[in-house]
């Protein structure tokens, strides 16, 4: 075992485990701590199974369920998570009296986590645990889903329970991650309360803008408020295409100060907007293009514009959220959309998705991308 991890674990957790004598009782007796209070443990009742041991078709049905499971596993390996969910559901719906149902539910939980159906993943894990309380993978799935929902206490209980049963270095990483995230969340809340400094009652962006200096050897674009042009946006796109040729910070396509200036202009536009719910009227014989889930795929965005045309007054777009995370060009996607918003305020509409969220940005990579590309050394609140 990694000595550093072991020492960290001992320092932070061994005492709490010893002091909390209920930690090993949490998941016993029909899983009394079930997070989903509406969960109905029907799977303890023999009457729900259509196919029971001893039935003539029992072995053939069990083989079919295992076949569905293997197909689901194959789809997971191919990252076809919705198809995997369908296969595990087919196995479950056979209603066979077997502990293998715990595996089917747990595997479906894994697929649900991959497509961010965290609530469904927790429900599936709860079913799996109710069927077979010794199946540790189900606890791991539930802990992972709770971690991604920032339910650090619930996640920590699952990971500690597994660790007590089967110590492993990878679990130490999860346990330490839960503790760190919980501590950071507490610290950040304290900072906000003490400083009374947030984007709504104090202008963080303006403060940031005033305290950024532009180096004399900066070679990127210059942004001037309210003077953005289509030529400027095209030049921005051309510089973004050349990302692999940028060797120094001063050769980047736009300086942090100008980027913050753009954010200020976009913020002012939305703050001055009368209605939060915008109604769009599409003229007769016209159309509007709807795009969703870019997830940092900058070159896919450029390909959409190549096929369908750039946003304009005669070619409006609605972008339905999830511009960032996962992909490595999330920042470029967002900057380009904001540039077009500043250029054609009433012809491009940018909705918020679930990934436009501080917590998901921390988990799925956008925060790290900003820090790396913008040279930020401190934590982003």
**306 is an active site residue:** no
Q: CB-based contacts of 360: which residues, under 8 Å, 6+ apart?
A: 325, 354, 366
**Dist CA 178 CA 366 (whole Å):** 19
Cβ burial, residue 72 (10 Å; 0-12/13-18/19+): buried
Contact 319, 349 (CB under 8 A): yes
Catalytic option among 127, 255, 295, 355:
355
H or E element at residue 317: strand 317-319
| Strand partners for 130 | none
* Closest to 326 (Cα-Cα) out of 114, 104, 64, 120: 114
Task: Tell me if 52 sits within 8 A of 97, measured CB to CB.
Answer: yes
- Is residue 353 within 8 Å of 323, Cβ to Cβ? yes
Q: Which DSSP category does 276 fall into?
A: S
What is the side-by-side strand order in the sheet with 348-350? 289-291, 317-319, 348-350
What span, in angstroms and rounded, lies between the C-alpha atoms of 10 and 98?
39
Record the tokens describing residue 190, joined without a space.
Answer: 């304290």
Active site amino acids: 355
């Amino acid at each position: 075992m990694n000595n550093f991890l072991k020492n960290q674990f001992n320092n932070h957790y061994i005492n709490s485990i010893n002091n909390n004598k209920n930690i090993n009782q949490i998941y016993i007796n029909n899983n009394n701590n079930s997070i989903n209070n509406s969960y109905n443990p029907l799977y303890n009742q023999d009457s729900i199974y259509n196919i029971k041991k001893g039935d003539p078709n029992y072995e053939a049905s069990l083989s079919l369920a295992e076949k569905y499971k293997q197909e689901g596993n194959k789809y997971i390996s191919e990252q076809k998570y919705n198809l995997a969910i369908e296969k595990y559901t087919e196995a479950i719906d056979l209603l066979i009296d077997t502990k293998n149902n715990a595996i089917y539910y747990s595997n479906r939980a894994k697929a649900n986590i991959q497509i961010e159906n965290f609530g469904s993943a927790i429900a599936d894990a709860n079913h799996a645990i109710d069927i077979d309380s010794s199946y540790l993978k189900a606890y791991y799935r539930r802990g992972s889903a709770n971690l991604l929902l920032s339910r650090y206490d619930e996640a920590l209980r699952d990971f500690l329970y597994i660790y007590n049963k089967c110590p492993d270095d990878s679990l130490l990483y999860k346990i330490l991650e839960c503790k760190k995230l919980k501590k950071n969340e507490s610290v950040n809340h304290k900072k906000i309360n003490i400083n009374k400094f947030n984007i709504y009652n104090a202008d963080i962006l303006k403060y940031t803008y005033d305290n950024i200096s532009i180096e004399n050897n900066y070679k990127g674009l210059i942004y001037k408020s309210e003077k953005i042009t289509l030529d400027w946006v095209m030049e921005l796109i051309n510089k973004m295409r050349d990302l692999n040729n940028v060797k120094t910070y001063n050769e980047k396509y736009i300086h942090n100060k100008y980027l913050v200036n753009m954010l200020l202009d976009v913020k002012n536009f939305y703050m001055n907007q009368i209605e939060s719910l915008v109604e769009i009227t599409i003229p007769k014989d016209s159309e509007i293009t709807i795009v969703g889930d870019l997830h940092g795929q900058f070159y896919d965005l450029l390909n959409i514009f190549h096929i369908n045309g750039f946003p304009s007054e005669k070619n409006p777009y609605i972008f339905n959220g999830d511009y960032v995370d996962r992909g490595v060009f999330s920042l470029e996607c967002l900057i380009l959309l904001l540039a077009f918003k500043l250029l054609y305020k009433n012809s491009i509409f940018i909705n918020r998705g679930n990934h436009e969220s501080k917590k998901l940005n921390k988990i799925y990579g956008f925060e790290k991308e900003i820090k790396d590309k913008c040279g930020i050394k401190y934590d982003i609140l």
